[in-house]
Chains A and B, each alone.
Chain A
Amino acid sequence: MRTVTLGADRGISARARAGRRMKPYLFILPILLFAVGFVYYPFFRTFLYSFSAVNVMGEITSFAGFDNYRYLFSRREFCAAISNTLRLTAMNVPLTMLITLLLGRLLKEKRFLCGLFETMIAATMAVSMGSAALTFRVMLNPTVGWINSVLGIGVRWYEDRNTALYGILLLTVWMGIGFNFLLFLAAFRNVDRDVTDQARLDGAGTARVFFSVELPLVSPTLLYALCTNTILALMTSGPVMILTKGGPSRSTTTLIYLMYTTGYGSGNYAMAACVAAVTFLLTLAFTLAGLWADGKRGDAK
């Protein structure tokens, strides 16, 4: 069939042929324009800013070398932001994955009411961060909230510097459940039935089958989820902005929140760029691993 079109080519002018050669580039041009303008350009400009002295208009006035970074690492709020972000990530990722692995495995078999439970859990991923944050604010309110009174505890959640980060953690874990649950559910359902049945015939119990057969078989998905969750957790900012504004006394300031307040709030572009650069470097390894894992996950099908 191709030869037909090639044959037709011979009859037309050189200009038309050049036009035909340009065609794929024309199709790609629009998306490329926006990718360069709103992803690559800001990315390189961010790195450039981080090594420059920048005025409040966002114009570069001089080269500053590592001065910005040196200054940044000496600031208390930056150290707090790094520590809060890393602590949040270190707690969020394992918790989210443990909960959703359990849920995914439990709902693997298609039984009575299974579809209903599935929809109920998965639908939470369509709930916006804004709605969720506001709900948690009321739910965890120390006086009118339902949670404290039912559990009989007097925790002041978002108003106490010792617990505010855990309050944010609760919310971010909850927000991750829907997506991760669907991922793991799909992965467990893709495990070949014959393999688990054979293991069971060989005398392995449910727990043994889970740890020695199913878990290794879903490991590409596990790795993919690990990377996606880590990157998402490192980007935590919305809940902080809505619920605590980084407080009380900096206990919930995260990297992106700090970037937002220094760059947008105080117009300090150079500092904001440094924070962005550090955050980006933190995510880089996980992004690469995630892409690699996703490739493997695709191959496994």
Chain B
Amino acid sequence: MNARRKIRKNARSALWSVLCFCLAVPVVFPVLYAFLGSFRTAGEFSRLPPALFPDSFLNFDSYVQVFTRVPMARYFLNSLGTTALVCAVKLCLSILAAYAFAFYDFRLKNLLFVLILGTMMLPADTLIITNYRTVSRLGLTNTWLGVAVVSFAGASQMFMLRQAFTQAPRALRDAAFLDGCGDMRFLWRILVPVCRPVVITLLMQVFVAQWNAYLWPLMVTDSDAMRTVQVGITMLTGAEDTNYQVVLAGACAAMVPPVVLFITVRNRLTASMTRGAVSD
């Protein structure tokens, strides 16, 4: 009786695994397709019926093409530069503001808090036309700063950090201040390290979002040297050009940094979402 129940339980478990596998594979299929396709040749693509697997996994020709056809290394540098700029400035600004909201009482506190959170109600995509005018009048088109500047105000990051700061033990600050620690020293040397999990999670979210940004970088850059990876990969082929394997290699190359980062800190991210993160 017991043995039979055990078999049934195992069978059910196996069935569940098979079912999950059947559902997970279609979801990741496009990524697999891009990866497999990037190793195929133009000749393989013209063969019918279309196959899935490449003849050889050692054919890196498409990747070479991605980096030689367009200045892809330069695009990567631009993406890294703008993303690093956004991560650094956005996080610093939200940490400063979150600190004031968590530890100080002042007259306009509620008003300012609502004012900053209110930016979440205005979708960034609807603002790009007027932002473009501002940025071009400031002479920032075709610069890293121009790509980054519109993302500096991070309301949801500020909100998450304020939550984390208010949960940090109060005695920490009092003790630090008694020891002659100033605001800045306490904030950067003690509070931020204490709240490191939240900071890292937010850093990762900002990184992925900025690395993957398309519409705004496309708009503020028109010189070839200033394009980001996301914009660059769409320019790998013209309308008449049919080098599918190069397009797929470009798509793969562009997804490497965020996906790798995502997988390495996934557990932390899942945990923070469980707690009810506001996403933007």
Chain A residues proximal to chain B, CB less than 8 Å = 1-2, 4-5, 21, 23-25, 27-28, 30-32, 34-35, 37-43, 45-46, 49, 58, 102-103, 106-107, 109, 111-114, 117-139, 141, 143-146, 149, 174, 177, 179, 182-183, 185-186, 189-190, 228, 231, 235, 237-238, 241-242, 256, 259-260, 263-264, 269, 272-273, 276-277, 279-280, 283-284, 287-288, 291, 294, 297-298, 301
Contacts and interface: CB of A to CB of B under 8 A. Distances in A.
A23 B120 CA distance: 25
Given A31-B93, A139-B30, A259-B126, A106 B258 contact: no
Contacts, number: 288
Interface in B12-34: 13, 16-17, 19-21, 23-24, 27-28, 30-31, 33-34
Given A124-B31, A144-B45, A256-B126, A228 B233 contact: no
B126 A106 contact: no
A287 B123 CA distance: 9
Interface of B: 13, 16-17, 19-21, 23-24, 27-28, 30-31, 33-34, 37, 45-46, 48-52, 93-94, 96-97, 99-101, 104, 106, 108-109, 112, 115-116, 119-134, 149-150, 152-155, 158, 170-171, 174, 177-178, 183, 208, 211-212, 214-215, 218-219, 229-231, 233-234, 242, 244, 247-248, 250-252, 254-255, 258-259, 261-263, 266, 269-270, 273-276, 278-279
Contacts of B263: 119, 123, 126
B271 to A, nearest CB: 9
B251 A135 contact: yes
Contacts of B259: 123, 126-127
Contacts of B99: 27
A242 B234 contact: yes
A46 B247 contact: no
